Homo-oligomer: A and B are copies of this chain.
Amino acid sequence: MTLAEENYLKTIFHLERKLKSEVSTNALAERMQTRASSVTDMMQKLADKKMLVYKKYKGVQLTEKGKKAAAYVVRKHRLWEVFLVDKLKFHWDEVHEIAEQMEHIKSVELIKRLDAFLGHPDFDPHGDPIPDKDGNIKKAEKRLLSELIKNQIGICVGVKESSPEYLQYLDKKKIKIGTKINVLGKEFFDGSMMIQVGRDQFFVSKQIAENLYVQTN
Contacts and interface: CB of A to CB of B under 8 A. Distances in A.
A88 B101 contact: no
A96 to B, nearest CB: 11
A127 to B, nearest CB: 23
A114 B102 CA distance: 14
A174 interface: no
Interface in A83-116: 84, 87-90, 94, 97-98, 101-102, 105-107, 109-110, 113-114
A7 to B, nearest CB: 15
Nearest to A116: B88
B98 A113 contact: no
Counting from the closest, the 10 A-B pairs by CB-CB distance are A88-B113, A101-B105, A98-B107, A88-B117, A98-B110, A102-B105, A87-B117, A101-B106, A88-B114, A89-B113
Contacts of A89: 113
Interface of A: 84, 87-90, 94, 97-98, 101-102, 105-107, 109-110, 113-114, 117
Nearest to A107: B98
A84 B114 CA distance: 9
**Count of chain copies:** 2
A203 B105 CA distance: 41
Contacts of A114: 88
Contacts of A97: 107
Contacts of A113: 88-90
A159 B156 CA distance: 51
Contacts of A106: 101
Contact of A88 (B84, B98, B102, B110): B110
A28 B65 CA distance: 40
Contacts of A88: 110, 113-114, 117
A71 to B, nearest CB: 21
A116 to B, nearest CB: 8
A84 B94 CA distance: 23
Contact of A98 (B87, B90, B101, B105): B105
